[in-house]
Structure 1
Amino acid sequence: MEPADTLAVTMLAARYAHSVDRRDATRLASLLTPEVVLVLPPELNGADAPSELTGRKEVVDSVLKSVSRFVATRHVLEQQTLEMISRNGARGEAYCTAHHIYSRDGGHRDARIAIRYQDTFARDGDTWLFSRRELVVDFIEDVPVTLPAPPGPAV
């Protein structure tokens, strides 16, 4: 891949994570092709087999609904591999540790999920977009966490 394409696709993954963590539907939708496909593994969809969501609206609505029950989320991107498959297409894999903070028993816990996103990208003019994201779960751990105290009243 050309360096400019590599940077654009790398930033696309970062913008996706940021949009999910900020619950920004408009920005998240802008990162996806109209016919995007999101494949969720059984570990995340509550079924016995992977499920597919198709179309920008369905994907955005589903992703934001799934994170809405958490106090906070943080998707930390790690290494990413990329390869061109055509002038306007690429594929790659990105590692991510997804933190999902929730309340339980008067405290908070973090359901940490080690994810590999297996991605396909499409170029639309000068812009790269996700055309397919398939999530692979490597492992899940659930640990207690301490959240900072809310700021006190201004003096």
Structure 2
Amino acid sequence: MEPSDRIALTDLAARYAQAVDRRNPTALAALFTEKAAFVLPPALNGTDAPTEIAGNATLSTSIVDAVAHLHSTRHIVQQQVLDLDTPTTAHGEAYCSAHHIYPRGEGFRDNLIELRYQDSFEKVDGTWLFSRRELIVDFAEDAPVILLGR
């Protein structure tokens, strides 16, 4: 994999986190191919099986709607393993810590989810995009937090 491809794919994951945290469905949709798929695990969708959402417009709105009730979120992208399949397709895995801040009583709590994304990428008109993103939950914790400034 060329360094420029690796940088572009790393930037793509960071832009995804930023778009979710800023609740920006337009920016989020622009990171996916038109027919992309996003897969939610049973741990997050309330069912016994994974749920697949298809189409960049639908999935971007669904993702933003899923976090809209929260006070704020903070997605921290950690290591990524990336492999080129062809000059225009790749796959990889990205680790992420996802903080979900919500009000409880007189204060706030953080539902921290440690997760991984199993990603497939496609290069479209010279730009790397997600063609499939599957979320896997490893573990979660919930703790009180103090909000400072904002």
- After TM superposition, the score normalised by the length of structure 2 is 0.98
Partner residue, 2:124? 124
Partner residue, 1:153? none
Cα distance per residue 1:95-118 (max 9 Å; x no partner) = 000000000011100000001000
Q: CA shift at 1:89, angstroms?
A: 0.1
What secondary structure does 2:123 align onto? strand
Partner residue, 2:12? 12
Q: Which amino acid aligns with 1:90?
A: A
Q: CA shift at 1:57, angstroms?
A: 1.4
% same residue: 53
Segments of 4+ moved more than 4 angstroms: none
Distance (Å, rounded) in 1 between the aligned partners of 2:94 and 2:16: 12
Q: Which amino acid aligns with 2:25?
A: A
In structure 1, list runs of 5 or more residues that go unmatched.
151-155
Question: How many residues end up aligned between the 2 structures?
Answer: 150
Distance (Å, rounded) in 2 between the aligned partners of 1:119 and 1:97: 16
Partner residue, 1:30? 30
Q: Which amino acid aligns with 1:123?
A: K
1:105 and 2:101 matched: no
Distance (Å, rounded) in 1 between the aligned partners of 2:33 and 2:18: 18
Q: CA shift at 1:88, angstroms?
A: 0.4
What secondary structure does 1:47 align onto? coil
Give the RMSD, CA atoms, in angstroms.
0.8
Q: CA shift at 1:58, angstroms?
A: 1.2
Larger Rg, first or second structure (1 or 2): 1
Distance (Å, rounded) in 2 between the aligned partners of 1:71 and 1:88: 38
Partner residue, 2:59? 59
Distance (Å, rounded) in 1 between the aligned partners of 2:60 and 2:29: 6
In structure 2, list runs of 5 or more residues that go unmatched.
none
Distance (Å, rounded) in 2 between the aligned partners of 1:140 and 1:3: 34
Q: CA shift at 1:149, angstroms?
A: 5.0
Distance (Å, rounded) in 2 between the aligned partners of 1:43 and 1:76: 20
Distance (Å, rounded) in 2 between the aligned partners of 1:68 and 1:9: 26
Mapping of residues 22-101 of structure 1, within 5 Å: 22-101=22-101
Q: CA shift at 1:61, angstroms?
A: 1.1
Distance (Å, rounded) in 1 between the aligned partners of 2:149 and 2:88: 48
Cα distance per residue 1:120-141 (max 9 Å; x no partner) = 0000121000000000000010
Q: CA shift at 1:15, angstroms?
A: 0.3
- After TM superposition, the score normalised by the length of structure 1 is 0.95
